[in-house]
Structure 1
Amino acid sequence: MKHSSHKTYSYKDVIDSPEGLADSIAEILACPVTIEDANHHIVSYSKHEKNVDNARTATIMRRKVPEHVINGLWKQGSMAKLFESDEPIVVHKIDTIGLGDRLAISVRKDNEILGFIWAQTNDLSVTSGHLEEMKEAAQSVSHHLLRQQAKKKKTDENSKDFFWQLLTGSLKNPAEIKRMAKKYHMNLQGQLCVAVFEFTEEMSQAVERHAYYLTETLHQTRIVHRIFDGQQLILLFRTDNKEDANEMKQAFIREFTQKMKERLHFEDLKGAFGLVYDSPTLISDSYKQALKVLELKEQYSTGLHHVDNYQDLGVYQFINELAALQKKENYKNDALTHLKTYDECQNSMLLETLKVFLEKNSNVHQAAAHMHIHTNTLNYRLKRIKEIGNIDFKDVNQKTMLYLDLLIYENEQEDL
C-alpha cells in the first residue's frame, strides 16, 4: 500500500486522462480500480488485472455494469449507502453475482452523484489510509466527471427541441430527421416506440435523477432519448426487430415500476406504450397512443388496470370517440334504459349482472363466481334481462353494442 507521502505522481497530473486516473488510483491502492458514471457506464478502468473477479470482467467487456450485479448491490444494501453518503464503504464479496471484496465511494458535486469508484481489494486489509485515499481520489475524479457531464448536458439541451419535434410531429421530412439525428447522435434505425410514465407523487430532482438512473441501468433497454414533462417521463425506445420490441416493452414497465416501488416507495406509478413503428416520422403517433392509454386507464381503471400497451386496448381504443358520436346524435340504448329503470324501481342489479356476464364472455360459471352468487341465481337474472331488455344473447352484434354502451354509461355516471 502506497500512502500519500510516497506517491510517484498526484491525481491532478492525469486529470485530462480518465485512463490515467484509474491507473493512478490503482497504483496507490495496489488493486484494480474502475471508475463509472452515475449510470454505471465505464469511464475508466485500470490495467491492473491480477486476480480480477467475474463482475469486473463482465463490466469491462460490456463497458457497463451488468444489471444482475447492480441488483445484487441494491439488495445487499451497498448501493443505498453510496447514494446516501459521500464516505467510502467496504463491500464484502457477494458470490451469487461474482463480486469479490470492494472498497467503493460515490463521486459527488454537492448532493448530486456524478459517478462511482470501485476498488477490488481481494484480501487487502482496508485501513484508514485507504479510506482517505479514496476520498481524495473522488475529489479528483469529480473534476473530470463534471466536465464530461457539462458536455453531455449541452448536447442534451440542444437535442430537446429536436425530440419535441419528433414527439409532436412538427418535423416530418425524413432527410431533415436523418440529419438532425446524426447531429445529436440519436440512433433512429430499426423499430421505435414511445413510453410515458406518469408519476402521482411530488416530483423532485432526486426522483428525476433516480428515474433517469433506472432507465440507464436496466440492461434490456435501448433508450434513444428521454425527457421529463411535468409529472411525466417520456422515453423513446429502439430495437432491431418488432418481436424484441414487444417483449422489451412488457419487461421494462414491470422492472421500472417494481424498482421505483422498492427504492423510492412509489406505489401508484402508471406506464404506457404506443405502437412500434419502423419510421421516425411516426414517433408522434406512438407518443399520442401512449398518452391515450394513460388517459383511458384513468377513465376505465377497472377494465384497464393491467393494460399498458395501446395494442391491448381492444374496443377501448375508440370508446371516447364512440361516446362523443352518441352524444352528438342523442343516442340511447333502449335495452339499457329499460334495465336501468327496472333496477331503480326494484333495487335489483341487472345492469351490473349484464356487464359481468359480457365481460366473462357469456360464461355463466365464471360470471356467477365473480359475483359470488349461485349459477341458478345468475340464470334467473339473465332470464329477466332477456325479457326486460328484449335481448338475444346469441346475437354477437347486439352483445358487442351492449358491452360498449355499458362502458360508456358507467363512465358517464362516474363523471356526474
Structure 2
Amino acid sequence: MRDTSRLTYSYKDFIDSPEGLADRIAESLGCPVTIEDANHRIISYSKHETNVDDARTATIMRRKVPEQVINGLWKHGIMSKLFESDQPLIVEKIEEIGLGNRLAISVHKNKELLGFIWAQTNDLSVTSEHLEEIKEAAQWVSHHLLRQQAKKKKTDENRKEFFWQLLTGSLENQSEIKRLAKKYQMNLQGQLCVAVFEFKEEMSQAVERHAYYLTETLHQTRIVNRIFDDQQLILLVRTDDQEDANEMNQAFIREFTQKMKERLHFEDLKGAFGLIYDSPTLIGDSYKQALKVLELKEQYPDGLHHVDNYQDLGVYQFINELAALQKKENYKNDALRHIKAYDDRNKSMLLETLKVFLEKNSNVHQAAAHMHIHTNTLNYRLKRIKEIGNIDFKDVNQKTMLYLDLLIYESEQEDL
C-alpha cells in the first residue's frame, strides 16, 4: 500500500524547484516527465531520458512544444479533452507527430488552466496507482504555477499600462519607451505593427483563454504583448524582416481565425493589422489603422472581405473622408443619378452592371461571367449606360470617380 504522507512530504520538498518536481514525478511513475505551462512552454523536464521519442526531444530542444505536435494533438481530440477535464488521460502513440504513448493531465486551479504534465509511458502498463499519482502530482504542480503567477501579476499589470500608453500615443519620449521596454522585457526592436481581432461572440473567460493560448502557440509571428478590450484582442507583433512581415502577418491573421473557427466554432471573427513601422512611437498609428480596416470591412463586406491589411485597402482608405466631403458640398454624380432613374422606371440592372464592370477592371468577359449573362447582353447594357449617363469608358478619371461614387452610394444608401 502507498505511503501517501511520504509522497506528499516529498512533493512539498520540491515545490519551489520545478526541476526537482519533474524528477520527483518521474521517479514515482518510472518514466520521463515534462511539465508545461498553459501555452506549452516547458517549466521543467525530468532527467530520465531512456528511449525518448521525437516529440519529447524536439520539445526539450526548443523549450516549447512544436506547433506540428500541438496541431496533431488537437486533430486527435487530445487537447480538447485536457482543456475540459482535470482527470488523467491515457494517450495512444501518434506516429505522424513523433509522439509515443503518454499519460497526461491538465493542471487546474478551480476552472483556470495552468499547465500540463506529460509522462512518456512507452511500454509501461498504466495502473490505477499511476493515475492517482499523477493526479496528486498535478495538485503540487498547481501550487508551484500559482506561486509563479502571483509573482508575475504585478508586472503584467504594469506591462498592460505601458502597452496602452503605446497604443494611445501618450508616450512619445524614445528614451523613456526604451527604459520601460527593458524593464518589462518587451523587445521593441525591428519591425512593429498592431493586429486586432474583433469577436462577435461574448468574450467569456474561456474564449479569452483560448485566444491567448493560440497567440502563444502559433509560431510564425512574435507577439510582444497582448490585451483584451471589450470584444477585441489587440496584439503587438514584431518581426526582424520587413520584406516578409506583411506576408507573415496575413498568414497569422488567417490561421488564427481558422483555428478559432475549428476549435470554438467562431464563424464571424475578423482580423486586421496596421502599417509596419520601425519605431515604437508609431505603434499608436498602426493601432488606429487596424481599427479602421475592421470598420471598413464591416461597412463594405463585399469589397473588403479578403482584406486584412491597411496597406491593401487602396481607395477604401479615404472613402469615408470623401463621402463626408461630398455630403458637405451637397455633391451628386449626374451620370449615376440618370442611370438610377432609368433603373427605377424600367426595373433594369444598369447600375449594378456598371459597378461589376468597373470592379472587373472593364473586362467584359469577367464581368459577364460574374453576372451569369452573355457577353452580348453585357455589351448591350454598357451601350445603354454610355448613352444614359454620357459616360466615356476610355476616360480613366471618369471611371475612377464613377467607381468611388458607387461605393459611397452603396454605403450611404442615400438617394442619388
* TM-score normalised by length of structure 2: 0.97
Separation in 2 of the partners of 1:21 and 1:196? 39
2:411 maps to what in 1? 411
Separation in 2 of the partners of 1:150 and 1:302? 47
- Cα pair distance change 1:5/1:52, threshold 3 Å: farther
The answer to whether the Cα contact below 8 Å between 1:3 and 1:28 also exists between their aligned partners in 2 is no
1:174 maps to what in 2? 174
1:78 maps to what in 2? 78
1:248 maps onto 2:248 in alignment? yes
Give a deviation string over 1:305-354, Cα, whole Å, max 9, x none: 11111111111011001111111111111111111111111111111110
153-162 or 371-380, larger mean C-alpha shift: 153-162
* Count of residue correspondences: 416
1:344-383 to 2 correspondence within 5 Å? 344-383=344-383
1:330 maps onto 2:334 in alignment? no
The runs of 5 or more residues in structure 1 that have no matched partner are none
The answer to whether the Cα contact below 8 Å between 1:67 and 1:217 also exists between their aligned partners in 2 is yes
- Cα pair distance change 1:72/1:414, threshold 3 Å: farther
33-42 or 322-331, larger mean C-alpha shift: 322-331
1:21 maps to what in 2? 21
2:132 maps to what in 1? 132
**Structure 1 residue 9: deviation in Å?**
6.3
1:113 maps to what in 2? 113
Give a deviation string over 1:110-157, Cα, whole Å, max 9, x none: 111100000000000000010000001000000110011122222111
Structure 2 residue matching 1:80: 3-state secondary structure: helix
Separation in 1 of the partners of 2:273 and 2:309? 5
Separation in 2 of the partners of 1:50 and 1:176? 50
1:395 maps to what in 2? 395
**Structure 1 residue 243: deviation in Å?**
2.3
2:42 maps to what in 1? 42
Separation in 2 of the partners of 1:252 and 1:181? 24
The answer to whether the Cα contact below 8 Å between 1:42 and 1:64 also exists between their aligned partners in 2 is yes
Percent identity of paired positions between Structure 1 and Structure 2: 86
Separation in 1 of the partners of 2:67 and 2:154? 28
1:339 maps to what in 2? 339
**Structure 1 residue 6: deviation in Å?**
7.7
Separation in 1 of the partners of 2:414 and 2:316? 17
1:227 maps to what in 2? 227
2:67 maps to what in 1? 67
Separation in 2 of the partners of 1:9 and 1:50? 27
Separation in 2 of the partners of 1:10 and 1:352? 76
The runs of 5 or more residues in structure 2 that have no matched partner are none
| Runs of 4+ deviating beyond 2 Å | 2-9
The answer to whether the Cα contact below 8 Å between 1:3 and 1:129 also exists between their aligned partners in 2 is no
Give a deviation string over 1:65-84, Cα, whole Å, max 9, x none: 00110110111111111111
1:92 maps to what in 2? 92
2:149 maps to what in 1? 149
The amino acid of 2:376's aligned partner reads: N
Give a deviation string over 1:349-379, Cα, whole Å, max 9, x none: 1111100000000011111111111111110
**Structure 1 residue 183: deviation in Å?**
1.1
- Cα pair distance change 1:354/1:415, threshold 3 Å: closer
**Structure 1 residue 87: deviation in Å?**
0.6
1:161-310 to 2 correspondence within 5 Å? 161-310=161-310
- Cα pair distance change 1:3/1:133, threshold 3 Å: farther
**Structure 1 residue 244: deviation in Å?**
2.9
The amino acid of 1:48's aligned partner reads: H
- Cα pair distance change 1:106/1:248, threshold 3 Å: same
